[in-house]
Amino acid sequence: MQDNLRPVFIIAYREVRDQLRDWRIIIPIALLTLFFPFLMNFTAGQVVGFVQQYGANLLADRFIPFLLMIVGFFPITISLAIALESFAGETERRSIEPLLGSPLSDWQLYLGKLLASLIPPLLASYLGVIVYLIGIRRTANWVPSVDFLILVLLLTTVQALVMVSGAVVVSTQTTSVRAANLLASFIVLPMSLLIQGESVVMLWADYGVLWWAVLGQVILAGLLVRMGLAHFNREELLGKEIDTLNMRWAWKVFSRAFVGQARNPGDWLKHELPPALRRLAIPVAFMTITLVVVTWVAADQARISGLPASVFSMDKLTTLDETFLDQFREIGFFSANGVFSIWLHNLQTILIATLLGVLTFAVGGVLVLLLPMAIIGFFAGAAGLAGIRPITFLLAFIMPHGLFELPAIILSGAAILQIGAALLTPAHNMTIGEAWLRAFADWAKVALAVVMPLFLIASALEMFVSPHFMLMVLGGL
Amino acid sequence: MIETHELVKKFEDFLAVDRVSLNIPAGEVLALLGPNGAGKTTTVRMLTSVLRPTAGWARVAGYDVVTQAEQVRASVGVLTEQHGLYGRMPADDYLDFFGQIYRMPAALRRKRGGELLEQFGLAGDRKRRIGQYSKGMRQKLALARSLLHDPPVLLLDEPTSAMDPESARLVRDAIHGLRSAKRTIIICTHNLPEAEELADQIAIIRRGRIIVRGTSTMLKESLLGPAEYQVQFAAHLPNSLPELPANLKIHKHGPDWLRFYPLDPLQDNPAVIRHLVGQGLPVLGLTEVPRSLEHVYLQAINAPDGVDILNMRNLANNAALTPQASEAAYAG
């Protein structure tokens, strides 16, 4: 292991030395490390003095820790510029090519550059924090608790890691620093929003929330590092010369993966669909387990929330009669149009989930699909508080259409997970783009041949049978 | 030492390298010639395990370029088209850095680095930052980097471009030395005289495919026809042209020279001299009429698609070296 890590440190050491030879990096770091903390000290002193005139000591108490976070954050912003230069700059100047021709592994090169982009800004940030703390101790006699100091240092570190790992992903998708800088707004804007959010929490002094922010960013950084490792490979770096979208090629890959060797629809159903479904086996298992866990947790949340059952009028469920069906009729149930509208609604949900999934490594898409079950689970839990067995409630609400709808949701979620995973996993013998298009073709196959028909059957059952079933199950309670 | 079979590389829907098969034994130099974008660099990148072949296989120094990529890269020295030097680093540090990457012991790194800097005339500038080097010096440093770990296989892209004649000679001598030391070398170059001087074999690549391959002599014969020889006389020829041995004819002549195509130069040429001297003619010398690789290259590059280039020999004799003329000649 030590032998494998040695090249990582060799690369990191060279790059850090190179940065220290560049005044364009040294001067901002020096200013942000030494001058900026003094400025923040001065600002803190002025603000504290000002608000104390009006007895707003609370504001002063909140402002000093807030500035500590800001002092830690500013130097790490340079990590983004260093990372873009290190990854996209080297690729553009082709100085990365001799390294790619050497016996280094992709991950060693990636990790070496990642460390090199992190170390100087982080050291500068820690040093800035120390300078600020020394100053604030003298001017305002303020000393942070160990917990809080660790929290701020961790926040700073994960923010730097998120920015650098994001910069790598951006850099691997471009062939020039200019393009990488333009794409970097996808990192800068969310980070600015994050810092604003953290600032609000900091001023609110709800530091527990910031620990969750650390955890969230650790997960995000983990995903970005994974994605960076998948993208930062020789093939991706040297396989493209210009930043263009080749739509013709993309369509060709997609259509080839979608149609496969099939000569007609029957052939397609027989030979192309089953392998696509088999490829989804693991994500299907994951989705199924997640769906069960989410429903259970949501039901439990109803119990924990301590809300009285009357809030949800669950008691009314025990007095259902035939008029209940009339209510359904009034809102359009028991009609062919209703079937169509529920079907369209479900398809719309799948499309939104897919879009969100594409943008969020599948996380957002899966959340959208889990949400209805979480709500039903919560109400099942609430029903339990009203004396109705949660399982009875669940059956009443999701049967019999759920027999078709749930597999459709699970399959859609699985296909979205596969699309997300394609971005995070090194593809064997193909580019990331190709792997992603193939995953997308699997999604299209499953959506067209399985999910859409399942939803159509589910919609028909939901429209014509489920209200009767609900009445049958709940009415007699 | 380098063996490829039906090597293919596709970038999305662009076919960059199309079924390239090579076999270069140890101690041999292959010059890979072709226009820009012909697939030379992509071929080299596959041979250095930087790019993965779409189809086909290749073995370099006994290692498979896909399954033993790390061993391949450790066995190959690459001089890339862009030198990829770090401008803020001194040459010493630069070579030391790459020596570490190639896991060379510190003492060996220093020794080998020093030797190479000395060999390429950079020893005096070893402490200077690379950014202050001239183009030629950078080229030499990049070459030194590729030789640092003493690899059995060298892939050199334009090894003497941007060099002054003296430096270029230095590099060519180094390549000769490497060949003698049984290194296998592929040179990608647009410098045709250099290719002719250095290479045992020449391969011309066009639109990803190797269209001709062989020794310089063989390619000339195949594409330009058999070698033509010129006899130079010390005085003007008599009004009636001299006779050649029975099976040979004068092809062209001037006031004090004549040219002919021997069927077998080894046998025919001495016979021609004997025959002419026997007729009392003052023979000054007999030489092969020089034919440059450039003629071969242009002939091959401009040949129509799908043509068996090696069988175009007779067409070449009359063809002007333009694509149109070449095509017209072939069609005729």
CATH code, B258: 3.30.70
| CATH number, domain containing residue B91 | 3.40.50.300
Q: Is residue B222 part of a domain?
A: no
Q: Is residue B259 part of a domain?
A: yes
Distance in Å, alpha carbon of A245 to nearest chain B alpha carbon: 11
Q: Is B106 exposed, middle or buried (0-12, 13-18, 19+ CB in 10 A)?
A: exposed
Q: Is residue B327 part of a domain?
A: yes
What integer pLDDT is reported at residue A94 of this predicted model? 82
Q: Is residue B223 part of a domain?
A: no
Residue A11 in tokens? 């690369």
**CA distances from residue A293 to A284, A285, A360, B197 in whole angstroms, order as listed:** 14, 12, 21, 74
Domain that holds residue B319: 291-331
* Residue B163 backbone phi and psi in degrees, to 5: -100, 150
Residues from chain B that touch A22, judged by Cβ atoms under 8 A, are 88
Query: What stretches of chain B adopt beta strand conformation (E)?
Result: 2-11, 14-24, 29-33, 55-60, 63-64, 76-79, 153-157, 184-188, 201-206, 209-214, 229-233, 250-253, 257-260, 283-288
Confidence band for A306, pLDDT divided at 50, 70 and 90 = low
Coil, helix or strand at residue A68: helix
pLDDT at A392 over 60: yes
Q: How many domains does chain B have?
A: 3
Q: How far from each other are the two terminal CA atoms of chain B, in whole angstroms?
A: 42
* Range A273-294 average pLDDT: 92
Coil, helix or strand at residue B55: strand
Same domain, B169 and B142: yes
Nearest residue in A to B54, CA atom: A429
B48–A103 CB contact, under 8 Å: no
What integer pLDDT is reported at residue A128 of this predicted model? 92
B50–A234 CB contact, under 8 Å: yes
What integer pLDDT is reported at residue B330 of this predicted model? 34
Q: Is residue B191 part of a domain?
A: yes
What integer pLDDT is reported at residue B319 of this predicted model? 40
Same domain, B84 and B143: yes
Confidence band for A318, pLDDT divided at 50, 70 and 90 = low
Sheet with B29-33: list strands edge to edge: B76-79, B153-157, B184-188, B29-33, B201-206, B209-214
Q: Are B153 and B77 in contact (CB under 8 A)?
A: yes
The 8-class DSSP code of residue B249 comes to -
Same domain, B68 and B168: yes
Distance in Å, alpha carbon of A127 to nearest chain B alpha carbon: 26
Q: Is residue B42 part of a domain?
A: yes
Distance in Å, alpha carbon of A273 to nearest chain B alpha carbon: 25
What integer pLDDT is reported at residue A181 of this predicted model? 85
Q: How far apart are CA A418 and CA B7, in angstroms?
A: 32
pLDDT at A240 over 80: no
What integer pLDDT is reported at residue A475 of this predicted model? 66
Same domain, B26 and B97: yes
Give the residue with greater pLDDT, A291 vs A34: A291
How do the residues of chain A divide into helix, strand and coil, expressed in percent and rounded to 5? 85, 0, 15
Q: What is the average pLDDT score of chain A? A: 85
Same domain, B25 and B89: yes
A101–B85 CB contact, under 8 Å: no
Same domain, B327 and B269: no
What integer pLDDT is reported at residue B317 of this predicted model? 44
What integer pLDDT is reported at residue B48 of this predicted model? 93
A10–B101 CB contact, under 8 Å: yes
Q: Tell me: the pLDDT tens digits for A46-70?
A: 888 888 888 877 877 888 888 999 9
B52–A98 CB contact, under 8 Å: no
Q: Tell me: the pLDDT tens digits for A182-204?
A: 888 878 888 888 888 888 888 88
Q: Tell me: the pLDDT tens digits for A111-160?
A: 999 999 999 989 999 999 999 999 988 888 888 899 999 999 999 999 99
The 8-class DSSP code of residue A86 comes to I
- Which residue ranges of chain B lie beneath pLDDT 50? 314-332
Q: How many CB pairs under 8 A join A and B?
A: 80
What integer pLDDT is reported at residue A383 of this predicted model? 79
- Torsion of Cα atoms, B160 then B162 then B166 then B172, to 10°: 0
Distance in Å, alpha carbon of A114 to nearest chain B alpha carbon: 17
Q: How far apart are CA A437 and CA A427, in angstroms?
A: 12
**CA distances from residue A282 to A286, A417, A425, B254 in whole angstroms, order as listed:** 6, 10, 15, 85
Confidence band for A88, pLDDT divided at 50, 70 and 90 = confident
Nearest residue in B to A86, CA atom: B86
Q: Is residue B160 part of a domain?
A: yes
Same domain, B131 and B277: no
Nearest residue in A to B45, CA atom: A101
Give the residue with greater pLDDT, A201 vs A246: A201
Same domain, B144 and B263: no
Residue A364 in tokens? 């957002």
Confidence band for A409, pLDDT divided at 50, 70 and 90 = very high
What integer pLDDT is reported at residue B329 of this predicted model? 35
Q: Are A280 and A442 in contact (CB under 8 A)?
A: yes
Q: How far is CA B269 from the centre of its chain?
A: 29
How many helices (H) and strands (E) chain A has is answered by 24, 0
Q: Is residue B219 part of a domain?
A: no
**Residue-wise burial string across A133-166, b where 16 or more C-beta atoms lie within 10 A, e elsewhere:** bebbeeebebebeeebeebbbbbbbbbbbbbbbb
| Reported ipTM exceeds the 0.95 cut | no
Same domain, B309 and B261: no
pLDDT > 90: percent of chain A: 28
Coil, helix or strand at residue B246: coil
What integer pLDDT is reported at residue A300 of this predicted model? 86
Same domain, B37 and B127: yes
Give the residue with greater pLDDT, A324 vs A276: A276
